[in-house]
Amino acid sequence: MNAQDIRKVFFDFFASRGHDVVASAPMVVKDDPTLMFTNAGMNQFKDLFLGNSEIKEPRVANTQKCLRVSGKHNDLEEVGVDTYHHTMFEMLGNWSFGDYFKKEAIQWAWELLTDHYKIDPEKLYVTIFEGDQADGLPMDEEAYAVWKELIAEERILKANKKDNFWEMGETGPCGPCSEIHVDLRPEAERRQLSGAELVNQDHPQVIEVWNLVFMEFNRMGDQSLKSLPNKHIDTGMGLERLAMVLQGKTSNYDTDVFQPYIKLIEVRTGMKYTSRRQ
């Protein structure tokens, strides 16, 4: 499946579940002093989450061009060092504005990955928010219960606020999240050491592909959490990473998203590109 097919499958899947497919927002953010560049698909919908604008279309999907070079989400130090971070990348997302919540978001993510993209469920792990005392938040039992219907319990891992509580910036919409990770190591390696040990450990072949955020709160300037007027879904799946998975590669740079440019650079410079595993 090339990148274009991957986008199409995503849009068709969510369109058939009542989502309006909309365009990516510009990468330079206007009218929001908390953010310089679009760092996530949800930025353009911030006012809908906060209840500052009227919800006209409760289900939306798109692919958003994101730039993570400053502020809370800054991947700059990772770029060029590993095989799966980029300054600019594309994030496939589906949103529910006060409509469906955890159950549908999780079930549809699983269905899309395993039935439509045909990713082997034996290679997938999921994480859920373990709770956080300082914020007075309990473990996400609801997400856990939904995942238990879909995946073996030993594949559901609990993770802390750093990995499983998503916040747009120092202030703004936020909530617990559930991530889906894929283990791309060869079978012999997978048999030797469970992928569960490598989730969130910066292993280049055990990586997060999709983040499902359950937006419930607004982080205030004094760092307290205020409940949002409605509950929302914000998901983000890295197109380049998904392409790596579906094209059987071990580096995002070996996919059709980057190869045409790399090949052209080889021709123009007369130098050979070699992909490097970390």
Look up tokens 């310089």; give the residue.
36
Instruction: For ligand SER, give the closer residue by CB, 39 or 255.
Output: 39
Instruction: For ligand SER, give the closer residue by CB, 184 or 209.
Output: 209
Residue 217's contacts (CB-CB under 8 Å, 6 or more residues apart) are: 173, 174, 175, 225, 226, 227, 228
Single residue of 3, 10, 41, 232 touching ligand SER by CB under 6 A: 41
Alpha carbon 94 to its chain's center: 10
Which two tokens mark 139?
């473990």
Q: Exposure of 188 by Cβ count < 10 A (0-12 exposed, 13-18 middle, 19+ buried)? A: exposed
Q: How far is the CB of 271 from ligand SER (least distance, A)?
A: 35
Does residue 43 touch ligand SER according to CB under 6 A? no
**Interactions with ligand SER, residue window 184-243 (CB under 6 A):** 211, 213, 234-236
Q: How far is the CB of 18 from ligand SER (least distance, A)?
A: 19
Does residue 166 touch ligand SER according to CB under 6 A? yes
Strand partners, 219: 172, 225
Name the residue number minimizing CB distance to ligand SER. 236
Q: How far is the CB of 252 from ligand SER (least distance, A)?
A: 16
Instruction: For ligand SER, give the closer residue by CB, 95 or 117.
Output: 95
Sequential DSSP letters for 114-142:
IIIS---GGGEEEEEE--BTTTTB---HH
Q: Is 71 left (phi over 0), alpha (psi -120 to 50) or beta?
A: left
Instruction: For ligand SER, give the closer residue by CB, 173 or 195.
Output: 173
Q: How far is the CB of 32 from ligand SER (least distance, A)?
A: 15
Give the binding site for ligand SER (CB under 6 A).
40-42, 93, 166, 211, 213, 234-236
